[in-house]
Chain A
Amino acid sequence: MLTQAQFLEPLARRRTDQIVVSTMSLVRAWGRLSKHEFDFAFADSAMGHAQSLALGIALAQPQRRVICLNGDGSMLMSLGALVTIAQCRARNLLVFVAQNNTYEVTGNQNIPGAGAVEFHHVARACGFPEAFHFADAREYETHLDELLHLQGPVLVSVRLEPGAEPPPNRRQTEDTPYLRGSLAESAHRLREALHRDESN
């Protein structure tokens, strides 16, 4: 089993210009590691739909890679989205599922099917050409470079220890910059950053 740091820190070290969509307990954790203008906090939004938002960005920006940092409870809310993603052949989309088997931000209540659901098998059954599961930190880091360059869509479930992150909020006092603006400001800012980058 990995800690949240063992999951996110190697990813942050390797991240270059990918768009990263984070949600739920991963929002603040990722924000502590990254201040990139292509980070987007899917917080104060609609639980269960981060991967669909990431799909939309990936389809509109086929020249870039999009990484979705999803939770297992969130993924369960919209498993059908895996079929949609596979159908769209979003080759530039990588969906991580942080599998701690709990709804962490509400106090670690068990998710339905806790420990029984194998998201990588579900993804393959939905048509993902590539899907993996990691429960060992060293093995995960060894394969991470390859995962970031695979032609997708790719789903990677990572077995995590339950944490104690509270719900992500959008307040001026947040120490993670991408949580300081409203959701609308964040969405419009990312769109402008992508457009600006294309124009350069």
Chain B
Amino acid sequence: MLTTRRVLETFKQIGITHVVGLPDNSTAALFHELADDPDIYLITVTREGEAFATAAGLWIGGARPLVVIQNTGLLESGDALRGTLMRMRIPVVCLVSYRGYKTLPNPMPPLTPDELSRRDVDSVAVLLEPTLRAWALPYDIITDNAELEKIINAQQRAIANHFPNFIVIAETIR
């Protein structure tokens, strides 16, 4: 189980000053808490590409931002991610919620037109991890509070490599 309290504690442990993003069902509780949090400034955006560019600006300005978006938003905002955090080599952790995770077949199907249009499978879930790999974006998946250390590790890797690192949230944060 992932809880808002523990996720926020982890953000604070790594010195996050700003969260930039767009909520979905699985991160709604987190955004709700962040709206009233006295230590972390929440910036909600109208489109996910804004989140990457704003996070880049925050980092240049000396802040330590973190991005929270849905996997659909990641696909929408590809060029903003490429042209800001990646191209600028900015060490920001990005949390991406894994919409459709529970619909994924096991084993994963090949990426064919028939598989990508299956009614019982959310195609954004099928495309998420292949997309992250294709873009050379390091990522870890978390489903439970016991794995929150992966966020800390992602932050350390991001700083060491001057590159964004991703955490995929495959469970609703409650």
Contact = CB atoms under 8 A, between A and B. Distances in A.
Given A59-B61, A184-B88, A195-B62, A46 B54 contact: no
Interface stretch (B45-53, B97-105, B139-147): B45-53
Interface string A74-107: 0000101101100110000000000000000000
Interface in A61-83: 61, 78, 80-81, 83
A57 B162 contact: no
Given A44-B87, A87-B44, A187 B53 contact: no
Interface in A148-199: 183-184, 186-188, 190-191, 194-195, 198
A42 to B, nearest CB: 9
A52 B62 contact: no
The majority secondary structure among interface residues of chain A is: helix
Interface in A135-150: none
B164 interface: no
A88 B55 CA distance: 14
Interface residues of B, number: 34
A47 B83 CA distance: 8
Interface string B46-73: 1101101111111111110100000000
B9 to A, nearest CB: 23
Given A46-B83, A53-B57, A187 B90 contact: yes
Interface residues of A, number: 35
A57 B47 contact: no
Nearest to A46: B83
B82 interface: yes
Contact of B84 (A45, A61, A186, A190): A45
B58 A60 contact: yes
Contact of A194 (B17, B55, B62): B62
